[in-house]
Structure 1
Amino acid sequence: MDTGTIDRCSFATQAVVVADDDRDCLMISRGQGMHIVGGLYRELCDVPAWDCTLGSGGRAALAASSLVTGVELTAYASAADAASIKTLQMHGITTHVSSRPSPIVFAYFHPLSSPHIEPPRGMINQQKPLLVTADTVLRFGLIEGDAVIRANRAIYDPQTWRNPPAFSANGSTANELALVLNELEARQSSGCDDLELAAKHLMVMQGASVVVIKQGARGASVYEASGKFSKVPAYRSSSVFKIGTGDVFTAVFAVYWARGLSTPEVAADLASRSVSIYCDTRAFEFDESALMRRQPVSSELGSAVRIEGNVQSLGQRYVMEEARFALQELGIGVVNPMFSSDTLDLSADAILLINDDLSSEALVRLADDSARLTPVIAFNDRAEASSYAFTATEITNDFATAIYLAAWAAGGAIAVRQK
């Protein structure tokens, strides 16, 4: 396990507690701190290189432990995960572990790609449910089992869009419940395409007092049972490492909301700022002054990005297709002259330049973009690629960062026009 990204935190070591596998539900002893139930999975990424055993539970526990003491983690783990459990303990996290037969791995080509899961979902043996009772509990969805929660305040992040179960479907109860979901999960959970209607449906059907819907580059929307609605922006980072950012958001929100430290709106805003820091550093250091220095970004619906590049080789075509898909996943319109040669209108709010053997026609368009002050984000995919840096507003050699910089630039351009 690569522990370099989490060794900056330093807390007292506490002991691991192994649950009794003879019970129908695995009984865990309780404390009054933040209790987290979530996955402990190995994460692999090719570009950029990443190999770390965290998952939703491990990452959320580290994020929470950087803010408060008394953090506990309940998770399933295999013998191969022992080193990761020890590292979590070294960061002051009390761990409660139930054994599973093998590790579970999520493998990504890049941080925005869909992961390959090993073993495949259909071959993962389902374990006995965990039972956790505590004052405040953050519950994540699990792929190898389930968790039954008894809490005063609970936060539930289902972690799946595939028929996400309701919080109480397995018998979980809470006096006050907050749901944290992404857009697809919210729509799948409610059957409503409109996010406001989806949130209202979830509050009625699941008894939630707060519904937070994460919207990627567009920040998050916060709906409260009182009728209050808040929009929280995303915050700029110089680089974007997306693996686990949703876990960080949910964990930070949970700490501030469930422990009564702030309102749902403020808790979500602090969570969004914390994600920005994590994207930059991959570390769990959420200093208040650093959080307040984060700058909000705009990524409005209706914005469009034009992709410039080349598709002569399979590799070039793959990068172009991945970029188009990733932008569309963020809700950004895409104009691509390489795929739509008959398109007459090539105007866009920002340009994503995949800097690899550009055609003369592309260079002419980019010169016009520069003259119109259209922001140009250059993705230098290969070190030997010819440089057209004079056209670029920002330059990066990281794919996920390029996608988000382009989305933010397009949203910013719309915001300027609307002033």
Structure 2
Amino acid sequence: MHIMGGLYRELCDIPSWDCTMGSGVRAAMATADLSPGSELHTYASSADDAAIRALLSRGVTVKTTARPSSIVFAYFHPLSSPHVEPPREAIGHLPTLRVTAEAVLRFGFLEGDATVTADRAVYDPQTWRNPKPFSANGSTASELALVLNELELREATGIDNLDQAARHLINETGAQVVVVKKGACGASVYEAAGNVSHVPAYRSSKIFKIGTGDIFSAVFAVYWAERKMPATQAADLASRSVSLYCETRTFKFDPLSLSQRLPVAAVAGARICIEGGTESIGQRYTLEEARFALRELGMEVMCPETEQEADGWNADATLVIDDGLSQHALIRIRKAQAQGRPIVVLHERLSTTVSLTKDIEVTDDFASAIYLAAWAAGESVAANRS
């Protein structure tokens, strides 16, 4: 597998993360065992030597074009928007990378571009900011698959309806496949022949979201572009691999481990009640950040502590931020539990506690709490429909 992708330093405050990865390095690490002899084409500075040595030790061939300094993505938590240093507008444009091969995975870059000539190519633009069409820089492929998230698809087409947008993109680009990643709700696979299929997300006990899109595209590219597996089957293996990576942050995607992943039934529009403290800035910030993250996943959200119209609002699941809960919140939580509503608790500090002893999921990680709540709400919706 030939990979064209970025090599960037990634920082995260909570949980702590400091690693030089980026789309290219992470994809190359993911394909090292699946596609021995993989080759990465990227830009790098002298500060990136350790990451290159790690790739070489895994048997990956690395071809670099010099870059004057590192590029850093800094996150507060894995679901937050990153701060980029140097600023995007200050990053110069370097010479275009070029590769000709049978199977190629191409990502978008901040500091340059990549021109591809391939039998089969997978293109992940990696940005919603005016994503460029695959062929805009002269890239060609006998067969093309596009991998985008929902926002990237809407920005690329100007069409809000995802089904219409995917069909439009197939018609405009001549792609054989468009894969639309939907976060907690899995992914949809659109094929030029007219087939549409859904691939679920798979459960993981921890959710570390930085780079999961890189993993998805890399594994999909190996199975679809290189091994010529049907697109839906390749996307399913990619989704299973994302689940395993979220839980372990390692690059071991053996068939047995993938076969044991369990699908989850997140549903866009599922309703989630958030219970949390509001007396301090920190408590209110966490509550609002959770509200924003869940809405980004397509959930409907209500917080009784801050919204007057909460009475009569029936939730499918409750997310409890266990810090400074009011007595009214505790009463509502116990009532929800008595009614059999799924409850997920974000319990970050030992000094706080919710006295619930059964039928709840507890995590000390913010991003994990968000996804577990979305999955719980979706499974509740599915159970009520059956």
Paired AA for residue 397 in structure 1? D
Paired AA for residue 145 in structure 1? G
SS in 2 for 1:235: coil
TM-score using structure 2 length:
0.99
Q: Give yes or no for contact 2:305–2:329 (8 Å, CA) kept in 1.
A: no
Measure, in 2, the Cα distance between the counterparts of 1:144 and 1:338.
Answer: 45
Residue 266 (structure 2) aligns with = 299
Match of 1:223 among 173, 190, 200: 190
Residue 2 (structure 2) aligns with = 35
Residue 45 (structure 2) aligns with = 78
Residue 409 (structure 1) aligns with = 376
Residue 376 in structure 1 maps to residue 343 in structure 2: yes
Residue 240 in structure 1 maps to residue 213 in structure 2: no
Paired AA for residue 358 in structure 1? L
Residues 392, 47 of structure 1: CA spacing in aligned structure 2 closer, same or farther, 3 A cutoff? farther
Gaps of 5+ in 2: none
TM-score using structure 1 length:
0.91
Residue 277 (structure 1) aligns with = 244
Paired AA for residue 68 in structure 2? P
Match of 1:314 among 274, 278, 281: 281
Residue 22 (structure 1) aligns with = none
Measure, in 1, the Cα distance between the counterparts of 2:151 and 2:306.
Answer: 27
Residue 324 (structure 1) aligns with = 291
Measure, in 2, the Cα distance between the counterparts of 1:156 and 1:277.
Answer: 23
Residue 217 (structure 2) aligns with = 250
SS in 2 for 1:145: coil
> After the TM superposition, which segments of 4 or more aligned residues of structure 1 sit over 6 Å from their partners?
none
Measure, in 1, the Cα distance between the counterparts of 2:218 and 2:262.
Answer: 21
5 Å-filtered alignment, 1:68-217, equals 68-217=35-184
Match of 1:366 among 317, 327, 333: 333
Measure, in 2, the Cα distance between the counterparts of 1:153 and 1:52.
Answer: 31
Provide the aligned C-alpha RMSD in A: 0.9
Between Structure 1 and Structure 2, how many residues are aligned?
386
Alpha-carbon offset, residue 347 of structure 1:
2.1
Residue 26 (structure 2) aligns with = 59
Using the aligned pairs only, state the percent identity.
58
Measure, in 1, the Cα distance between the counterparts of 2:359 and 2:367.
Answer: 17
Residue 345 (structure 1) aligns with = 312
Q: Give yes or no for contact 2:190–2:197 (8 Å, CA) kept in 1.
A: yes
Alpha-carbon offset, residue 345 of structure 1:
2.2
Measure, in 2, the Cα distance between the counterparts of 1:95 and 1:367.
Answer: 56
SS in 1 for 2:233: helix
Q: Give yes or no for contact 1:273–1:294 (8 Å, CA) kept in 2.
A: yes
CA displacement 1:284-324 (0-9 Å, x = unmatched): 00110110111000111220100001110000011001000
Paired AA for residue 174 in structure 1? A
Alpha-carbon offset, residue 56 of structure 1:
0.2
CA displacement 1:85-108 (0-9 Å, x = unmatched): 111111110000000101000000
CA displacement 1:258-291 (0-9 Å, x = unmatched): 0134100000000000000000000000110110
Q: Give yes or no for contact 2:342–2:360 (8 Å, CA) kept in 1.
A: yes
Measure, in 1, the Cα distance between the counterparts of 2:262 and 2:228.
Answer: 23
SS in 2 for 1:163: coil
Q: Give yes or no for contact 2:344–2:369 (8 Å, CA) kept in 1.
A: yes
SS in 1 for 2:208: coil
Measure, in 2, the Cα distance between the counterparts of 1:389 and 1:170.
Answer: 57
Gaps of 5+ in 1: 1-33
Measure, in 2, the Cα distance between the counterparts of 1:327 and 1:276.
Answer: 19
Residue 26 (structure 1) aligns with = none
Measure, in 1, the Cα distance between the counterparts of 2:10 and 2:284.
Answer: 27
CA displacement 1:314-344 (0-9 Å, x = unmatched): 0001100100000000000001112203432
Measure, in 2, the Cα distance between the counterparts of 1:417 and 1:185.
Answer: 32
SS in 1 for 2:175: coil
Alpha-carbon offset, residue 360 of structure 1:
1.1
